[in-house]
């Protein structure tokens, strides 16, 4: 005997705790199966790109912190690299090494948050998140030593960084690097073998590689589908060609693969920071001739880096004045979110939130 059913449309969000910010999903269900998904965003829009047009280049560094607020350092780095490319500034080597150390520590912190909230969405309430926050706290302490702030760092400037690391930073970062692989092992033994997690995530929300490439997805989502696309390897910026590291890959392209790629990237980032600490040399952190008010020549530039969530690009148009004429941000969270419908249709309510968590988005960056 068959029963006649009608699809029901449900609003999830914008104030739903598992939507990682203010994000609304209009989902049509047939029973418990998802038939249609319509993402609605823009609730956190603050007009950062417009604000850039009336601020000088250094002043705008402080606003890039507010876009992806769990990865402020990489936001700073992307913008500063674009300004350097536009204005033809050669950065000081010590400043570049410090920027790389900060960016890789930030990548670990961002993946910790991504991992913790992914497992929280899965129903592992608070336990893995607390483990993740414990290590993130130590990274934020290191940032406090570097630049005095924990979340909104504004550490980088065109040409380098604004202040050298204090002397007590180096023993602290070495201690952290010695302990971090042990912590990652701890997460692995806590979660990675857990049968409930495996049965909830393996094979769920699988996407084909072609669909990912067509939607210009980048970052861990793409690497979880087996494509070794990492801008640190493909277009080395800063000194990434001087350090040795692997690009972790997974083939399955499901929720589990996206989780395990992030876990392994943390191990690689620890390796990178260790090599940076070994190779850093004394010297100035910023060339003396770079003024506070940078005046790039008229022109346009697109520069992108491998952020924790994907390709983070800045497109700046300059008219030769002290402020950008136009500044456009290619936010990885925003573009990774566009494939949500393809991932979700055919899966159930409980898988929806998990899949959403596995993309690891940040609404501050989606809406800007």
Partner 1 sequence: MYGLGILKGFGVTALNAFRSPFTVEYPDRRVGLPGLARSAGINPLAFVLKRPKDALKAVLGLAKIPARSQQHSRFRGQDFTWYVERCTGCASCAKLCPLGIIKIVTDPSGRQTQEGEVYDIETFDIDLARCMACGICVEVCPYDALHMGSGFERARYGFPNLLITVDELKKAPKRPSTWFRPQLEERGYHPHKSGQADWRLVGRHERPTAGQLKRNWVDDRAK
- Which 11-70 positions form the footprint of partner 1 (CB under 8 A)? 55-56, 58-60, 62-63
Residues 150-169: x where in contact with partner 1 by CB under 8 A, - otherwise, as a string: --x-x-------xxx-x---
Q: Is 134 in the site for partner 1 (CB under 8 A)?
A: yes
Cis peptide before 14 (omega within 30 of 0): yes
Q: Is 140 in the site for partner 1 (CB under 8 A)?
A: no
The CB-of-144 to partner 1 minimum distance in angstroms stands at 5
The torsion angles phi and psi of 286, rounded to 5 degrees, stand at: -160, 130
Piece in contact with partner 1 (CB under 8 A), picked from 23-31, 68-76, 184-192, 252-260: 184-192
Count of residues of this chain found to bind partner 1 when the rule CB under 8 A is applied: 34
Strand partners, 315: 302, 328
Token pair for 325: 């004429």
Element (H, E) at 314: strand 311-318
The torsion angles phi and psi of 290, rounded to 5 degrees, stand at: -80, 120
Piece in contact with partner 1 (CB under 8 A), picked from 23-31, 140-148, 229-237, 309-317: 140-148
Residue 151: Cβ within 10 Å count: 12
Token pair for 9: 């449309």
Residues in the chain: 368
- C-alpha distances out from residue 163 to 89, 144, 286, 309, Å: 18, 12, 9, 27
The CB-of-185 to partner 1 minimum distance in angstroms stands at 10
Element (H, E) at 160: strand 160-161
Q: Is 193 in the site for partner 1 (CB under 8 A)?
A: yes
Token pair for 143: 């940032």
User: Where do we find the tokens 């609605």?
Assistant: 40
Residues 206-245: x where in contact with partner 1 by CB under 8 A, - otherwise, as a string: ----------------------------------------
Residues 289-308: x where in contact with partner 1 by CB under 8 A, - otherwise, as a string: ---x----------------
Strand partners, 270: none
Of 65 and 230, the one with the shorter C-beta distance to partner 1 is 65
Sole binder of partner 1 in the list 30, 32, 38, 144 (CB under 8 A): 144
Please report, as ranges, the residues that interact with partner 1 according to CB under 8 A: 55-56, 58-60, 62-63, 127, 134, 137, 141, 144-149, 152, 154, 162-164, 166, 186, 189-196, 198, 292
């Amino acid at each position: 005997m068959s029963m006649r059913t009608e699809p029901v449309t449900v609003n999830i969000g914008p104030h739903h705790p598992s939507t990682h910010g203010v994000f609304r999903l209009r989902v049509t269900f047939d029973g418990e199966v998802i038939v249609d998904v319509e993402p609605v965003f823009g609730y956190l829009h603050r007009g950062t790109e417009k604000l850039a047009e009336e601020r000088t280049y250094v002043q705008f560094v402080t606003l890039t912190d507010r876009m992806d607020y769990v990865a402020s350092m990489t936001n700073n780095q992307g913008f500063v690299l674009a300004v350097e490319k536009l204005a033809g500034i050669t950065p000081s080597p010590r400043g570049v090494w410090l920027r790389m150390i900060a960016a890789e520590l930030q990548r670990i912190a961002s993946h910790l948050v991504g991992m913790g909230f992914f497992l929280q969405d899965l129903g592992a309430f608070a336990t893995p998140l607390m483990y993740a926050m414990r290590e993130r706290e130590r990274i934020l302490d290191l940032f406090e030593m570097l630049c005095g702030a924990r979340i909104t760092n504004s550490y980088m400037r065109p040409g380098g960084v604004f202040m050298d690391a204090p002397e007590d930073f180096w023993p602290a970062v070495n201690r952290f690097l010695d302990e971090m692989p042990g912590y990652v092992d701890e997460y692995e033994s806590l979660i990675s073998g857990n049968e409930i997690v495996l049965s909830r995530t393996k094979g769920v929300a699988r996407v084909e590689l072609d669909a990912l490439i067509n939607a210009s997805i980048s970052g861990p989502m793409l690497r979880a589908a087996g494509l070794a696309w990492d801008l640190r390897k493909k277009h080395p910026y800063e000194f990434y060609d001087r350090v040795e590291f692997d690009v972790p890959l997974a083939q399955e392209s499901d929720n589990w693969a996206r989780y395990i790629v992030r876990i392994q990237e943390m191990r690689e980032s620890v390796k990178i920071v260790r090599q940076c600490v070994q190779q850093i040399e004394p010297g100035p952190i910023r060339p003396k001739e770079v003024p506070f008010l940078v005046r790039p020549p008229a022109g346009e530039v697109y520069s992108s880096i491998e952020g924790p969530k994907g390709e983070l690009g800045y497109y700046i148009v300059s008219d030769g004045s002290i402020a950008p004429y136009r500044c456009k941000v290619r936010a990885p969270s925003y573009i990774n979110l566009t494939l949500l419908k393809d991932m979700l249709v055919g899966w159930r309510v409980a898988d929806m939130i998990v899949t959403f968590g596995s993309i690891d988005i940040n609404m501050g960056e989606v809406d800007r």
